[in-house]
Amino acid sequence: MRRPRYFRRIFALFLAAAMAPAAGVSVVYTALAGSALRREASGRLDSQAAAFASAVAAIADGCASGLLSLSQDAAVLAALSGGEPEGAAAVRAFRSLLRAFPRDSGPAEASVLSLNGGRALLVGNPAPDRDLATFGSWGVFRALLEADMAVSPRLAELSDGTRSSFTVGVALRGPDGTRLGYALADVRRSAIAAAAAASGLRGGASVAFPSGKLVFHQSDPGLEGGYIEDAPLRLDGEGVSIARATGAGTTFTVVAEAPSGLYDGFGRSARNVALAGLLAAAGLASVLSLRASASVTEPVLEMARSMRLVEDGDLSIRIKPSGDDELGDLARSFNAMTAEVDALLRREVERQELLREAELRALAAQMNPHFLHNTLASIKSLAKLGRSGEIAEVVSRLGKLLRSGSGRRDGLSTVSESLSSVRDYLSIEKLRFGERFSFELDVDPALESVTLPPLTLEPLAENALTHGLERKRGPGSLRIEGRLDGGDAVISFADDGPGMDAEAIARLSEALEEAKAPAGEHGMGLLGTNRRLALEYGAGYGIRIRSGGPSGAGFVATVRIPSGLATPKGEAP
């Protein structure tokens, strides 16, 4: 089998190292080599131990910083205090939690627990030792009873199947200082193992708490959970380095042991010129192998960094090929792939925009013919009666509606503009209905500047008249109310028509909850408008319906959209 070109390059470097003459190693250099190697190895071990201790402390500090940001996050505090509807608050709080501590990356897995145990933000199933009713005075919870931040050993399985080594905890308090619960970050053992490897430690590196409890042992995880004085560890002598670093208010002790046998050959090399020469050649070979590894791994690392950017949505990234070999071919293939995916996504976005425009045009086409027919019939009737003033008013309002309907539908409207169209529409229809119909608008002025997609409120007004009041005998009324609900704008259309039977209400409600697309020529009103809102704003927004009263008479359609307005201070949402 033909060897890859990059393999031949590595082999050539190793061959050059093996052929490096050992004849230049003198007897004096051989005598000094043992001592120099010992000093270098000891200094390197000290540096690696200090780097590892600093890395562990940095992990703890990073977790503490993330937890402190959660302790000041309004969504998290709202979820614990119960000041908002539980579902909405929990969703926003969980998003804040995942922003601070991503689920599939990062050194720790975070959770938030309320003090009474009633609310929790967890990744995965709750662990038994996180039951505050049973373990509220143990471990990190006991420490948090006396301080707002604490670090405690915890060797437990996390939601992704990995193990934790210790927990960083922060007490959560409300604006009045009342303790609401705890934010916890369980540091993954894999993160500490990666820090040990990144520090250059390959042997028996250990991490202990001030109490002496071992929370990490690089080569023998079975020692974790015991105490350092009971473990078979060397704490002094050659080949051992102890370093300490403070993170999140806790001092971590690192014990680093050099790999077994590292120092054994130094004395023999100083007494044996031949062996010293071989060791020197091996050292040279090691240097050359490091250079060879760098020449191979750097393109691979660049590829990995680029893939992470692609995962984050950046499809403009391109890799410069490292040469005319397999790695260069891989980089060129990667560039071709990202370019093709970028083009496909752009075409899909364009297709979705065209589809959205088509749905808007279909909705407008459904409303206008029916409405124009009724309006022209009303004008005809008024003309026969000689009521020219009312004809002028109808024509004026109809002109406003036609001008607004012929404009661009791919931008955003406002609640004020939409309600103006609704008012003109209902005023025209009132002339047709006469005393059989009345309407009332009661909308908070704060909502007038809220933006929303065009043709959002008009279908609800048409639905109330066409499917509600037109089928009612005797006078009917329509009430339009608008208010702020937390950070959302809620506008309801309530008619006192005959309503719908319970089965029909249930079917339509299910279709609206699932944001189903309208089928065929029917359903463009409520279903089409609801689907546009769900696609625009996400789950939780759109149109919901219910019967008008216990008897089933009447019909209420409510639209919910984000307002972009803050709830006034001191007012309940």
pLDDT for 239-298, tens place per residue? 788 999 999 999 999 998 877 655 555 555 555 656 666 566 666 666 665 566 556 666
Domain 1-299 shares a fold with domain 358-562: no
Specify the pLDDT at position 493.
Answer: 94
Mean pLDDT for 33-51 is: 80
Determine the length of the chain: 573
* Average pLDDT for the chain: 78
Q: Which residues fall within 8 angstroms of residue 205, CB to CB, at 6 or more apart?
A: 49, 52, 196, 199, 216, 217, 218, 254, 255, 256, 257
d(CA 93, CA 86) in angstroms, rounded, equals: 10
d(CA 287, CA 291) in angstroms, rounded, equals: 7
pLDDT for 288-307, tens place per residue? 655 665 566 667 666 667 77
Specify the pLDDT at position 462.
Answer: 84
pLDDT for 544-569, tens place per residue? 999 876 555 789 999 999 988 755 44
- Determine contact, residues 66/183, Cβ cutoff 8 Å: no
The sign one gets for the Cα dihedral 400, 401, 402, 403 is positive
pLDDT for 340-355, tens place per residue? 777 777 766 655 664 5
pLDDT for 452-462, tens place per residue? 988 888 888 88
Higher pLDDT pick, 515 / 192: 192
Mean pLDDT for 18-46 is: 63
Residue 359 has pLDDT above 60, yes or no: no
Angle between helix axes 326-384 and 458-466 (nearest 10 degrees) is 50
Specify the pLDDT at position 522.
Answer: 45
Specify the pLDDT at position 355.
Answer: 57
> Which option is the CATH number for 1-299: 3.30.450.20, 3.40.50.1980, 3.60.20.10, 2.40.37.10?
3.30.450.20
Q: How confident is the model at residue 523 (pLDDT cuts 50, 70, 90)?
A: very low
Sort 174 into a burial class: Cβ within 10 Å, 0-12 / 13-18 / 19+: middle
Mean pLDDT for 104-125 is: 84
Q: For the CA atoms of 553, 559, 565, 566, what is the dihedral angle to 10 degrees?
A: 50
Per the structure block, which two tokens stand in for 63?
């977790």
The sign one gets for the Cα dihedral 370, 373, 375, 377 is negative
Ordered by start, the domain boundaries in the chain are 1-299, 358-562
Higher pLDDT pick, 545 / 523: 545
SS3 of residue 126 by DSSP: coil
Percent of the chain scoring above 90 in pLDDT: 25
pLDDT for 466-490, tens place per residue? 787 777 888 888 999 999 998 899 9
Q: Which residues fall within 8 angstroms of residue 518, CB to CB, at 6 or more apart?
A: 524, 527, 528, 531
The sign one gets for the Cα dihedral 92, 96, 102, 107 is negative
Q: Which of 40-44, 178-182, 242-246, 378-382 has the highest mean pLDDT?
A: 242-246
CA angle 252, 256, 258 (to 5 degrees): 175
d(CA 77, CA 70) in angstroms, rounded, equals: 8
Angle between helix axes 273-311 and 264-271 (nearest 10 degrees) is 140
Produce one character per residue of 317-342: b if its CB has 16 or more CB atoms within 10 Å, e if not: bebebbeebebbebbeebbeebeeee
> Which option is the CATH number for 358-562: 3.40.50.720, 3.30.300.30, 3.30.565.10, 3.10.20.30?
3.30.565.10
What DSSP letter does each residue of 489-553 carry, written as one string?
EEEEEEE-S----HHHHHHHHHHHHTTPPPPTTS-IIIIIHHHHHHHHH-TT-EEEEEESSTTS-
What DSSP letter does each residue of 177-215 carry, written as one string?
S-EEEEEEEEEEHHHHHHHHHHTT--S--EEE-TT-BEE
| DSSP symbol at 227 | B
d(CA 198, CA 194) in angstroms, rounded, equals: 6
Residue 51 has pLDDT above 50, yes or no: yes
